Amino acid sequence: MQKIKLENQKIEVVINRFGAELSSIFNKDTKTEYVWNADEKYWKRHAPVLFPIVGSLKNKEYIYDGSKYPMGQHGFARDMEFEVISADESEAWFGLKYNEETLKKYPFQFYLQIGYKLVNNELKVTWKVVNEDDKKMYFSIGGHPAFLCPIASCGKQSDYSIKFDTKNNLKYSLLSADGLVEKENLVLENHDGYVKVTDNMFDNDALIIEGNQAHQVSLVKPDGKEYLTVTFDAPLFGLWSPAKKNAPFICIEPWYGRCDKETFAGTLEEREYGNVLMPNEVFEKSYTIKAE
| DSSP line for 30-84 | TTEE-B----TTT-S-SS-EEBS-SS--GGGEEEETTEEEE--TTBSGGGSBPEE
What does the pLDDT read at residue 207? Answer: 97
CB count, 10 Å around CB of 98?
17
How many domains are there within the chain? 1
Determine the Cα angle at 10 with ends 196 and 49, to 5°: 60
What does the pLDDT read at residue 244? Answer: 83
- Residue 18 burial (CB < 10 Å; 0-12/13-18/19+)? middle
What does the pLDDT read at residue 1? Answer: 59
Q: Report the CATH number at residue 48.
A: 2.70.98.10
Mean pLDDT by 10 residues, the chain (292 residues): 92 98 96 97 97 97 97 96 97 98 97 97 98 98 98 93 98 95 94 95 95 98 97 98 92 98 96 97 98 94
**Domain of 218, in residue numbers:** 3-291
What does the pLDDT read at residue 94? Answer: 98
Q: Are 164 and 193 in contact (CB under 8 A)?
A: yes
**CA 133, CA 107: separation in Å to the nearest integer?**
9
Q: Are 25 and 124 in contact (CB under 8 A)?
A: no
